Each structure stands twice: as structure tokens, then as C-alpha cells.
Amino acid sequence: MRRRANPAWLFVAPALAAIALFLFVPVFASLLLSFTDFDIYAVAALRNLRFVGFANYQTLLAEPLFWQALRNTLYFVAVGGPLSVAASLAAALLVNARLARCRPLFRTAFFLPVVTTLVAIAVVWRYLYHPRIGLINQLLAGFGVAPIDWLGDPHWAMPAILLMSIWKNFGFNMIIFVAGLQAIPERLYEAASLDGAGPWRQFRYVTLPMLAPTALFVAVMTMIGGFQLFAEPYVMTQGGPSNHTLSVVLLMFQEGFRYWNMGYAAAIAFVLFAILLAGTALQLKLRPLGGGPT
């Protein structure tokens, strides 16, 4: 062992080299980039590049469009996240119910949207939301609801994207919840039942506390995913109507890759990252006490 280099390094070297080169270096470079005025002229010739300190961040924080993108994204995360987790939990409870037959069939049905291609699905929902020929308005018309211009109305566009996103993703967290439910020892329910607890109290005092660690994991992952909202508005609304579905990542994409304001776009990415870290830390801090098994 001493004489030659440890062969273990040969095993980890390809992966570490790739991760260092294509993740660490770019992330660090991105931080540097955010302190420069890298734009279309710098793309052409690097000597046009200047160090500008915190100017990009100052511009960003004074820019109403950024605040609007941030508000939209926070709405998506804060409203969509809990709804999505709740939908996942409800689906998990349904497919995991003791009386349920054909469990694998229902589980697969609920899961199917997860594996589908987001862009294709966003195209499909764009038509489902069509004010005149869309299926959703046609179904609602059956209940006497007047046609709604889902993606064209500033009030409805974000909720419409949110609904689609929940439909697309709830199956993923459902699987994690089902695993969490199955890990709860049966004897806890038996004990609760002996103590005279009905289904609701069993759910409240056994299931929910035991699921807390799973729920925390799911909530954090859902939040991280939510902050990265991009393809849905890109395909369905292009950020409209009047920027009501513009997300932070979509704004970064437009600034960086459409207008080549790369220094500015890097600053957007880092502000998003900072918010994401703060959000994760906050959720870990708010962790309900008395978690179940690890």
C-alpha cells in the first residue's frame, strides 16, 4: 500500500475531476462574474470586461422587474409547496389505506405524471387551459362557469401554472410518504386503538408525528424545486401576462442568454441561491420536535 499510490484515488478521480471542473469551478466563477459587467461586448472580447463591485446587486435590488420575479417565485413556493405536499400526503394515505385494492395500479397512475417530460406536459396544459377550446373550460361550462382566460388573465396565470405543477409532481412525494407510512410500527396503532382513539385521533397523534421527519425532507426538497421554476412559464406564458408568471430563473435566463448581461444574470443566480439557503435553514430550524425514527 505504501509503495504505490492508493488505488482508491483512481476510483474517485474521474468523478471528482468532473464535479470540480463542471460544478465547483463554474459556481466560483459565477460569483466572480457577478462582480463584473460581463455583457455582449465582453463575450466578443474579454478586455471589455470591468470589475464593478456590488453594482450588479445594487441595480438588481433597485429593479422592479426583479422584485416582481421574486414575488412570483415566492408565491409559487409558499402557496404551491404546502398544497403540493398536502396533495402528496392525501394520495399516500389513499393508496396506503388498509382497505384499498389494486394498490400498485393506483400508485402507478398517480406517479405517471412525474416521469413525463415537463416541456411536453406544459404544451399539453397550455391547450387544456385554452379559453375557448380548452378541456378545463369545457368541463367548467358543464357547471355553468363562464370561460376563464387561464393563462391570459394576470390573476389566474400563476395559479394555473401552480395547479399544473402540483399535478405533475405530487406522485413523487407520495412515494416517499408511502414509504414513511409503512415504516410506522403497527403496534402504535394497536396501542392507540386500545386507548380508544378513533381514526382521526390515530392520524393526529400517531401518523402525523411519526411522519414528521419524512414531511420535513419532502418540504425542503419541494421548496428547492419550486425556486427553480423555469420550463412551465417559458413554455406556457413566456413570463406573461405583463410579467405575472416571470420566475427568477426565467429572468436569469433572459438576462444571461438572451441579452448576454451575464454579470447581472450571475448576480440574480446568487441572490436566488442565498434565498434558497435561508429557506432551507429556516425549515430545518422550524423542524417539529419529537421526530420519529431515523
- Single out the segment in contact with another protein by CB under 8 A; choices: 61-69, 145-153, 154-162, 253-261: 253-261
Residues in 170-229 at the binding interface with another protein, rule: CB under 8 A: 171-172, 175-176, 179-180, 183, 214, 217-218, 224, 227-228
* 294 is a contact residue toward another protein (CB under 8 A): yes
What's the number of CA atoms in the CB half-sphere (13 Å) around residue 264?
Answer: 22
* 274 is a contact residue toward another protein (CB under 8 A): no
C-alpha cell at 93: 394515505
C-alpha cell at 268: 440574480
What's the min distance (Å) between Cβ of 240 and another protein? 14
What's the min distance (Å) between Cβ of 249 and another protein? 6
Pick one of 69, 226, 234, 251: the residue that binds another protein (CB under 8 A).
Answer: 234
Task: For another protein, give the closer residue by CB, 158 or 249.
Answer: 249
* 66 is a contact residue toward another protein (CB under 8 A): no
Say if residues 185 and 163 touch (Cβ distance below 8 Å): no
**Alpha-carbon gap, residue 236 to 238, rounded angstroms:** 6
Residue with cell 425532507: 217
Count the Cβ atoms, other than its own, within 10 Å of residue 90. Answer: 13
Which x/- pattern, by CB under 8 A, does the window 132-171 give for another protein? xx-x-------------------------------x---x
What's the min distance (Å) between Cβ of 250 and another protein? 10
3-state DSSP percent of the chain in helix, strand and coil, to 5: 70, 0, 25
Task: For another protein, give the closer residue by CB, 128 or 206.
Answer: 128
Q: Which H/E stretch holds residue 219? A: helix 208-227
Task: For another protein, give the closer residue by CB, 121 or 162.
Answer: 121
Pick one of 60, 70, 89, 128: the residue that binds another protein (CB under 8 A).
Answer: 128
**Alpha-carbon gap, residue 294 to 291, rounded angstroms:** 8
What's the min distance (Å) between Cβ of 37 and another protein? 14
DSSP codes of every residue in 67-125: HHHHHHHHHIIIIIHHHHHHHHHHHHHHHH-TT-SSHHHHHHHHHHHHHS-HHHHHHHH
* 81 is a contact residue toward another protein (CB under 8 A): no
Residues in 24-53 at the binding interface with another protein, rule: CB under 8 A: 24-27, 29-30, 33, 43
CA dist list (Å): 113 to 96, 125, 159, 167? 19, 12, 19, 7
* 270 is a contact residue toward another protein (CB under 8 A): yes
Size of the site for another protein (CB under 8 A): 86
Task: For another protein, give the closer residue by CB, 154 or 199.
Answer: 199
